[in-house]
A and B are shown apart, each in its own frame.
Chain A
Amino acid sequence: MAERAAGEGPVTTAASSLVDISGLSLVYGARVGTPVQALDDIDLAIGEGSFVSLIGPSGCGKSTLLRVLGDLLAPTAGSVSIGGKRPVEARLDRQIGFVFQEPALLEWRCVLDNIALPLELRGVARAERDSKARELISLVGLEGFERAWPRQLSGGMRQRAAIARALSTDPRILLLDEPFGALDQITRDRLNMELARIHEITGITVVLVTHSIREAVLLSDRIVVMTPRPGRISKIFDVDLDRPRSLRSRADERFDAYVRLGSDELEKGYADA
């Protein structure tokens, strides 16, 4: 088990890194009232094809960090590179897929047209985008629901559609912001396994924001623990469990050890706060 304390410089995996973050800081509301230091001097490298989870209590900046990667927020200082490009370039180059906590489907479009939306916005012809969307529908297990309205789907199915939509442009990196937080435990387990399977099949790099340490251990190659006020990385550790992961990975004795390791680190964050 590789462990390290924060502040020893970026960690690189054996594979070359896709994401390089260095000296990243983000201050909210610098111009109005009390500024809030959401992120403070973050250094992080994410290996190509790896599954990384960002975990920490609310206010630790994990979602903020994810939104910086997705070019939804601009950092105050520091640099971010995704495959050698700035986030804005990576986004314009279709390399980013983003799944939000809510499915955020367009309720006036059927499932198929929702999944094809990013391709449609990029000007891809209908035949091509429909065939891509159908491929993704079978990947996420929504066959038979191509023409259903979003409001006719269950919460879990809506989030499956949102994942398929995020994958439609064949991005290099999939960013997920607490995607299953609103779902019940059983649905959540199933979708976690779907996510693990999609990661195995496509080899895409995944960054998952979650507040569940068990979810993070179950899915990740590496876990980044963050602490609030200001948002900092307090610990990064690798999870060395057999792949492919399944719900049985939780029976592995190492699983509990990783969960304890993460929980202890989270406890420290709460104690400081």
Chain B
Amino acid sequence: MRMPDTANRSTLNDDGLLAQAFPPVAMFVIMIAAWQAVISAFAIPVYVLPSPGDIWLAIVNNPGPLFRHSGITLFEAVAGFVIGSMMGAVLGTLFAYSKFVARGLLPYVIAANTIPVVAVAPIIIIWFGHGLSSKVAVTAFLSFFPLALNMMKGLQSYDRTIMDVFHIAAATGPQRFFKMRLPNALPYVFVGLKLNVTFSVIGAIVAEFVQADKGLGFVIMTSYRTLNMPRLWAAMLMSALIGMAFFAIISMLERLIVPWHSSLHDNR
């Protein structure tokens, strides 16, 4: 039997982090160098593939607008993520507690989930107008399903013997929910949230493709029309950075909120 030694474990993690960080950083340097070399060697025109230097210049020469547009997309993604996830969590809870609601609504929810977001986005934009709220709504639409389904699964997957333990202890209904079913569902909730991180950035940008005068989707579309490929690539890079930062924040929250679950990965 080994006891978890907190000090020991964090040192191990730090070592692990450094060792983990080196390969991707090294690979990044190699890829950038190869990219630049290929463009020089074959004289590839900039509209086909801009060089890393071109993209870098597109960012640093006029950073203000690019960051402003990124901020807009980030806001839409986060707001849609929060609203959609919360609505999904509520509906998932309803599904878990009411067989009638689950059987009645689940087929339609799953059917709605299969509709491509590009088909839904114009409708939502008609409903919610040309401002930010319609982009938030499209993002929320995408963030809704993963959380509803994972919340339902998490709340239903409790251990029957633990339910007996709560029965012996004369637990009330709210106690069963807050002290057993909800904590038990949290690892599932985080699976849903991590899916939603990706979906929310996609949702925001797709909605901006359909109609927008700001945001990264707007930058990508206008750059495409003017064949300003370095700017398009810069916008793409920003959207990737938003997604990665967002994902990192959710992973950090997961470590804080469900440490018993993430400790599983650390200890093995």
Contacts and interface: CB of A to CB of B under 8 A. Distances in A.
B169 interface: yes
Interface residues of B, number: 28
Contacts of A102: 159, 161
Given A92-B170, A117-B169, A108 B3 contact: no
B265 to A, nearest CB: 12
Contact of B3 (A92, A120, A152): A152
Given A92-B170, A108-B258, A148 B4 contact: yes
B168 A70 contact: yes
Nearest to B6: A147
Contacts of A154: 1
Contacts of B106: none
A107 interface: yes
A110 B66 CA distance: 48
Q: Give the size range of A's interface with the partner.
A: 20 to 34
A104 B162 contact: yes
Nearest to B160: A104
Contacts of A241: none
B213 interface: no
A154 B3 CA distance: 11
Interface in A78-125: 91-92, 94, 96-98, 100-102, 104, 106-109, 117-118, 120-122
A102 B165 CA distance: 11
A152 B168 contact: no
Interface stretch (B144-152, B178-186, B192-200): B178-186
B33 interface: no
B166 interface: yes
Contact of B168 (A98, A107, A145, A153): A98
Contacts of A96: 168
B159 to A, nearest CB: 6
A29 B63 CA distance: 72
- State the main secondary structure of chain A at its contact with B: loop
Interface string B251-265: 000000010110110
A151 interface: yes
A182 interface: no
A151 B260 contact: yes
B171 interface: yes
A104 B3 CA distance: 21
B1 A153 contact: yes
A257 interface: no
Contacts of A106: 162, 179-180, 183-184
Nearest to B258: A108
B1 A100 contact: no
Contacts of A72: 164, 167-168
B3 A144 contact: yes
Interface string A124-156: 000000000000000000001100110111100
Interface string A162-176: 000100010000000
B266 to A, nearest CB: 11
29 contacts: A70-B168, A71-B168, A92-B170, A98-B165, A98-B168, A100-B161, A101-B161, A102-B161, A104-B162, A106-B162, A106-B179, A106-B183, A107-B261, A108-B183, A108-B260, A118-B165, A118-B168, A118-B169, A121-B171, A121-B172, A144-B3, A145-B3, A148-B3, A151-B264, A152-B2, A152-B3, A152-B4, A157-B1, A165-B165
Interface of A: 70-72, 91-92, 94, 96-98, 100-102, 104, 106-109, 117-118, 120-122, 144-145, 148-149, 151-154, 157, 165, 169
6 tightest A-B contacts by CB?
A118-B169, A104-B161, A121-B169, A108-B183, A121-B171, A108-B260
